[in-house]
Every structure is written in C-alpha cells, then in structure tokens.
Structure 1
Amino acid sequence: MTDETTIVPLLEPREGIPPVIEDPTGLARVVRAFAEGTGPVAVDAERASGYRYSGRAYLVQLRRAGAGSALIDPIRCPDLSELDAALADAEVVLHAASQDLPCLAELGFRPRALFDTELAGRLLGYERVGLGMMVENVLGLRLEKGHSAADWSTRPLPEDWLRYAALDVEVLIELRDVLHEELKAGGKLAWAEEEFAAVLAHRSPGPRTDPWRRTSGIHKVRALRGLAVVRELWTLRDSLAREADLAPGRVLPDSAIVAAALELPRTTKALTDIPAFTGRSARKHLRDWLAAITRARALPESELPQPSAPGDGPPPANRWMDRDPVAARRLAAARTAIAALADEHRMPTENLLQPEAVRRLTWEPPAVVDAETVAARLRGLGAREWQIGLAARPVAEALARMEAQEKA
C-alpha cells in the first residue's frame, strides 16, 4: 500500500495531449508508429453508456514504447483492422478487458494476447481494483477520474476530457509490469494467463428471450394484463431508443413502465398523472405510450404473456431452504470451503470459483461425490484448470462430510 503522503498527482501526459486521429492519413501514421514500437500495447476505449443506445466506442486510446500515445476517433475512423494486423503479435494491456473488448471487436481490433490489470489485481488480492486506485496503490500516482461517466459521443471532445483519456493509458504498461512481477512472485502468473485466455475466448450470448422481462421492478407486476403492458411499452421504447440512438432509460424510465402496468391508465390525463411520465422525453411520445397500453388492454386472454418459466439453472439461492433444504446445506458447505481457500490465496471467492458453477454443482451434485467427479463437473461448468486444481478436492470433501452428517 502506497503512503498517502508520497502519492504524486498525474496531471499531464508525458508528451502532451496527442491530437485526435480523424482521417485515414492520420490513422496510417499511427499504424506505422505502433508497428515499429516495442513491448505491450496499452489500450482503452470510451463509450457513452447511459447516453446512447449502442455500446460502441467513441474514442480509442493507445500507448506503446517507441510510439507514444494516440487518440483515435472511431466515428471518423471506424475500421481498425490494419492496426489490428500490425499488432497481431503484441500483448494488449486493458483494464477490465471484458468491458472494452466487444466495442473494439466492432472496429476490427481483436487482441490475440491479453493482460488485464483489473483481473490481475483481483487475483493478487487488491481490495479496490478500479484503475485509479490500482495506479495509486501500485505506482503511487493519482489519476483524475472525473470524466469516466461522461457522454463521449460529444463532439468536439473538450480538451480536459482528452487529457483524461490520454492519462488512462499513460502508465498502464508500468502498472502491468509491476503486477506481472507480483503474480510471478506469488505463484499466480499461470492462473492469470489462464484467466486472460478465458476472457479472450469468451463469446457474448445471443439475444435474450423476452428481454422485456428484465425491466427493473417487474416483480411488482402480478397480473398478466400488466405484463402485457410491460411488454408493449418496453418494445415501443426499445424501437424509439434504437432509432434515436439514445439509452432506453432516457426515452422512458423503467419506473414509468412498471407504474403504467400497475395502474393501466385509459386516458392521456391518467397517464400524465403518473409522475414518471412527466419528463420531457416521456411526454414527447404520450400518444404512442397510450396506444401501446391500449393494445395491451385489448389483447385476448390467449395472447397475454405468461409468468416467466423457470430457467434451466437452479433457483435463486435465497429460495433453496424452502425448495430443497439438503441442497441449501450443500451450498453452504461448498461456500464455506471456497471461502477458506479464497482467504488462503488472498482473492475474492468469485474469482477462485465462479458462483454460478458452485450453485449448479450443489443443486444437482454427481451421484458419487469425490474429487474426480467434482472436478469433471466443474470442468463442464466452465471452471478453469487452476480453479479445479485448487477447489475440487476441498469442495468434494466438504460435500461428503455434509452428506455423512445428513445420514447420521
């Protein structure tokens, strides 16, 4: 832990704020410079989450020894495949890589080798793994993080935003180098490499079935007619948000959808009596919202949505004791064993073994519980080999003890 009195504010990039690359000529210069650079490449991307419908990148930042830093406008330069080819053999350093990899892939940039500084911090047991705190605790430097939630679709981008963006990759490679040595010294480097490979190999699931069922607060809606209203309003909102390229919540908040589903308003006046429909964006489409509610009210009973069917996985853990007390005790035994392992190896329990794998294992355990069968089951549930090597035997022993107690 760095002493507070020795922390140095990181206020300016070493070579100043680089110009934003906005044309093919400038992009070609960046490609050449980074191809001629050496060592890992620090990469970051800024999105407009909460402002825009898509998760696309609105700025891409890079830094490499021998090349310096670069800021690329992916709206003006939407194809980074040449940069990707030039860096095919380079290790890419990202912080919280799973957040940025999808939007980088949309631009044709797909790392082959990865070092994720956030994930490394988790495996090393750092309590706070945001980039700012990692840079502060590991390097003794303080980053300004005031623009992390900004609307990066803004054009032109303000100078202080660009300074912030350039600083995000300014010391990322130095952070990577220190964490790499800590992982190596702690015997965790192979674990980290396996985790990084899993992040790169991960593929986003396809579109959700009935995505409207994820509306926040939908659990309050018990009537099938109310669920029909949620479905109609959610679908309309999604269409309007996609067309306007706005985050859906900026078109109509989830609270408005749920309130309308509960009150089933019949008139514009009744609709505007719901506070969540008084915002400027919501009022802009009042006729459309009311038409959607009217459609839901007119649906025949046979076309009303039904309560969501149970998924293929176990129920929420807080319901296990009512549904299957023995399974609940298996889960508790497994969690205790994993918590002890996580404490021993100084990392969060969710990084030592994925919680979903633990739930599925203990809800439907193997017929014979031993280290081999537990290892095979965990492997089938996506656990990494290093996780299986640590956890399979202790978890199997914990489950076997619990099973013996149940029979006694």
Structure 2
Amino acid sequence: MPEYHVISEPAELEAAVRALAAGEGPVAVDVERASGFRYSQRAYLVQVFRRGAGAFLFDPPALGDMTALQDAIGQEVWILHAASQDLPSLRELHLDPPSIFDTELAARLLGHERVGLGAVVEDTLGITLAKAHSAADWSTRPLPQPWLEYAELDVLHLVDVYEVLRDELTAQNKTEIAAQEFEAVRTRPDKPPREEPWRRLSGLHTVRGRRALAVARALWQAREDFARAQDTAPGRLVPDRSIIAAVVADPKSKQDLSRVRDFTGRASRAQLDRWWAAIEAGRAEPVLPLERVPGEGLPPVRAWPDRNPEADARLKVAKPRIEQLAADLGMPVENLLTPETLRRIAWAPPADGGEDAIGVALAEHGARPWQVAATAPIIAAAFVESVQPTDDASSAVS
C-alpha cells in the first residue's frame, strides 16, 4: 500500500502548487469536513488532482493561508462532485473557482439513476470505490492512511468521469443546459440565516405553552453558544431529544434536572450549571415566543381546492405536463423546474398570463434561461386550459 502524505508545511505547499500550475487541463477538487463532529463546516482536508501533476492532499488548518493554491489553479475549470456542498468550505479558504463542472449535477441532467460519487465512477468508468470513510471525523490528527487513500480516490478519477459525462451531455444536446446549471450553483448566494432556528428542534411539537417554548429556546441557545465555543456539533453535547425531555419534565431544581433520565449527552451533566441557568433564563424571559408562527410557504396542496380553487385547477393541469417534459428530456422533474417554483406560479400567476409574463415570473423565482424557454410555453397553455369549461360543463350550460 502506498504511503499517503498530507501537505501541512508552507514549503510543501509551494512545491505542490508549482506542480499543479504546470499540469494540464481541468482540476479535480474535493473537500472533507467533520460534519456531525464539529460545529463549523470548515474544510479539514482539500484534495486536488490534475493530469501531469498528480494528486495532492492539503491540510487547511495547518497551512492557514492557501492563496498560493488559488493562484495556481484559479484560472482553470474545477471539477467537483455535488459542488454546492463543498463551495462554502472552499470559499472560507479563499479558494474560488472561475467555473465548475459538477459531476453529480451532470449525472442528474443526463438521467443517471444513481448519482453518488461511487455510483457515477462505477457507471462511467467501471471502477468501484470503497466509501467506508465518508462519515469519518476528518478533524482527527494524524489522519489514518486508509482515510487518506479514500480521500485521494475521491479526486483521482474525476477528470476521467468529467470527460465521459461531457461527451454524454454533447450527445444529448445538454451542454448549454449543464453550463447554465453549473454557473447557477457556482454563483448561488448563501442562504440567509433562519429567523428562529431553535424551532427546528426535533420533537418541539410536543412542547406546550409559550413559557415552555421560551425554556426550549433558551436551552437551544445555550447549547449553540457552547457548541460554537467548543467547535463541537451541538447534538454531540446534548441531543435535541434531551432538550425536549428537560423542558417537558419541568424540573424544579438543578438536582431535579440531573435526575431527568432522558437528559443525556456528553455535556448534560458536566455542564449542568449551564443548562440550569438557561432554564431559569427561559422562565424569566419577558418576551415569549408565539406558539405558532405564520409560515412563509404556500398552504399544502391538499388545501388548495378550498383555499384557492383556481390555483388548484392550474396546478392540476400544468404539473403532469411538466413531469412529462422532464421524462421526455430524461432528467428528474426537479432539475427541469422545482415543484416549489411551479406551485408558486400556479398560486399567484402574473396578471398577464401570457408566455412572456410567465417566463418573467419563472426567472424571478430563480429559473435559468433554458428552464424558462422549456417550461413557460407549457405552463402558459396549461393555465389557459385550466379555466376552459369541460365538455360536460359546456353541454350543461347549453
């Protein structure tokens, strides 16, 4: 078994980037994080491969400044798999691709049934990758050799995969479609933070009363602050179910809290003072959260016949036609047009329901030009048909 080396010294970085700069063609890039172990989503390993240079494994926490790597490959196409997962971590390191080719997204657009990295490599190259370490704690130091082998394999074949998928896109006349999708992923802004992220606590629906919700909020915030300070995944300190158990138990003292059987986690007892202080703060909070908050989303589709029957009719005509078009194009319907976008247009269509107005509305909801061109005529026609009387209704009127 070869010895895999992690580059952690500036001198090694300089040598590696010189080799990469002298390489040929696009660059395969991947990132390993410690999701589920660490609070942050920082990169703990960056893997890079380029023909004529080879594969390199970089240790970002040890290296710190990786500007030299950006300078070496910053003008090349970067090949990534599921790029939307890796780009935020890369940008934290000031590694920003000028253009990308996303092998997972390409596989989706081509209608591949399996789009995980291992499956795409197997389907395109006939090579089987072991995925035994995908959920490992990549903040571990030193990194075990089997993990490093796995990490290098994640980029070693990506250029070959890219060439196969690129040719498939050409054969299916989807090169421009893919280019627009890749650029949309590359330039997509980060999601804004949720206004009340504590409401995502698993099991919160079992908590009754605004005061109890205030306690849950205070416990969530205390856990969040401690997790951030420790750079540990919050659920590893105190799981969601433990926070809910503490709220429901309504302990009268710190000792009572310590006796709540389901209040578990590595920090449940070690940080008991912290959690008890949070409970007391929640109980004393003068501004109580609402039990129910108005959602920004649309009503569930099952409620449309009563809430907005015209919208229901529009959706029922348009949806199967969009699904058929996706089938004809050989791609998942969500890659042709997200169901949420179609629902929003059906719920509140533009006053001028023509094709051009529908196209503008689709673009405002984030649809790419190719999606607008493919779906706007179908949606506009479906909306017109949805208000036409059926043959039976016409006969009854006459």
1:59 pairs with 38, 41, 45, which one? 45
* Distance change (3 Å), C-alpha of 1:82 and 1:321: farther
Residue 273 of structure 1: CA displacement?
4.7
Report the secondary structure of 1:279's partner residue.
coil
1:81 pairs with 38, 61, 67, which one? 67
Report the secondary structure of 2:27's partner residue.
strand
Give a deviation string over 1:164-189, Cα, whole Å, max 9, x none. 00111110100000000000000001
The answer to whether the Cα contact below 8 Å between 2:25 and 2:76 also exists between their aligned partners in 1 is yes
Distance 1:165 1:63 in 2: 11
Distance 1:153 1:332 in 2: 49
Distance 2:41 2:97 in 1: 19
In structure 2, the residue matched to 1:7 is none
| Correspondence 1:210-221 to 2 at 5 A | 210-221=196-207
| Correspondence 1:151-170 to 2 at 5 A | 151-170=137-156
| Correspondence 1:230-245 to 2 at 5 A | 230-245=216-231
Residue 287 of structure 1: CA displacement?
2.5
Gaps of 5+ in 1: 1-11
The answer to whether the Cα contact below 8 Å between 2:239 and 2:265 also exists between their aligned partners in 1 is no
In structure 2, the residue matched to 1:361 is 345
In structure 1, the residue matched to 2:76 is 90
Give a deviation string over 1:346-389, Cα, whole Å, max 9, x none. 11111111222112211211123222111110011110011111
Give a deviation string over 1:71-98, Cα, whole Å, max 9, x none. 0001111222221122122110000000
Distance 1:319 1:188 in 2: 37
In structure 2, the residue matched to 1:9 is none
* Distance change (3 Å), C-alpha of 1:147 and 1:322: farther
In structure 1, the residue matched to 2:249 is 263
* Distance change (3 Å), C-alpha of 1:140 and 1:256: same
In structure 1, the residue matched to 2:107 is 121
* Distance change (3 Å), C-alpha of 1:17 and 1:131: farther
The answer to whether the Cα contact below 8 Å between 1:18 and 1:70 also exists between their aligned partners in 2 is no
In structure 2, the residue matched to 1:6 is none
Distance 2:301 2:291 in 1: 20
2:232 pairs with 240, 246, 257, which one? 246
Report the secondary structure of 1:126's partner residue.
coil
RMSD: 1.9
Report the secondary structure of 2:26's partner residue.
strand
Q: Which amino acid aligns with 1:314?
A: L
Residue 268 of structure 1: CA displacement?
3.6
* Distance change (3 Å), C-alpha of 1:69 and 1:324: same
In structure 1, the residue matched to 2:161 is 175
Q: Which amino acid aligns with 2:227?
A: A
Residue 334 of structure 1: CA displacement?
2.7
Distance 1:322 1:257 in 2: 38
Aligned residues: 392
Give TM-score, length-normalised by structure 2. 0.93
* Deviation larger for 205-214 or 227-236: 205-214
Residue 264 of structure 1: CA displacement?
2.3
The answer to whether the Cα contact below 8 Å between 2:209 and 2:291 also exists between their aligned partners in 1 is no
In structure 1, the residue matched to 2:314 is 330
Q: Which amino acid aligns with 2:126?
A: G
Q: Which amino acid aligns with 1:154?
A: T
In structure 2, the residue matched to 1:341 is 325
Q: Which amino acid aligns with 1:40?
A: P
In structure 2, the residue matched to 1:394 is 378
Distance 2:266 2:73 in 1: 47
Distance 2:357 2:104 in 1: 32
In structure 2, the residue matched to 1:3 is none
Gaps of 5+ in 2: none
Distance 1:236 1:324 in 2: 42
Report the secondary structure of 1:226's partner residue.
helix
* Distance change (3 Å), C-alpha of 1:346 and 1:273: farther
Report the secondary structure of 1:310's partner residue.
coil
1:383 pairs with 357, 367, 372, which one? 367
* Distance change (3 Å), C-alpha of 1:323 and 1:145: same
In structure 1, the residue matched to 2:284 is 298
Distance 2:305 2:58 in 1: 53
* Distance change (3 Å), C-alpha of 1:51 and 1:141: same
Residue 18 of structure 1: CA displacement?
4.1
How many percent identity over aligned positions?
Answer: 49
The answer to whether the Cα contact below 8 Å between 1:92 and 1:111 also exists between their aligned partners in 2 is yes
Report the secondary structure of 1:282's partner residue.
coil
Distance 1:18 1:288 in 2: 43
Distance 2:275 2:247 in 1: 11
* Distance change (3 Å), C-alpha of 1:342 and 1:275: farther
In structure 1, the residue matched to 2:26 is 40
Q: Which amino acid aligns with 2:377?
A: R
Give a deviation string over 1:133-173, Cα, whole Å, max 9, x none. 11111110000100000000000000000000011111010
Give a deviation string over 1:229-280, Cα, whole Å, max 9, x none. 1210110000110111100111111112223333322234543454431333
* Distance change (3 Å), C-alpha of 1:316 and 1:307: farther
| Correspondence 1:273-284 to 2 at 5 A | 273-284=259-270
The answer to whether the Cα contact below 8 Å between 1:266 and 1:290 also exists between their aligned partners in 2 is no
Report the secondary structure of 2:62's partner residue.
coil
In structure 2, the residue matched to 1:373 is 357
Q: Which amino acid aligns with 2:122?
A: E
2:54 pairs with 59, 68, 83, which one? 68
Give TM-score, length-normalised by structure 1. 0.91
The answer to whether the Cα contact below 8 Å between 1:18 and 1:69 also exists between their aligned partners in 2 is no
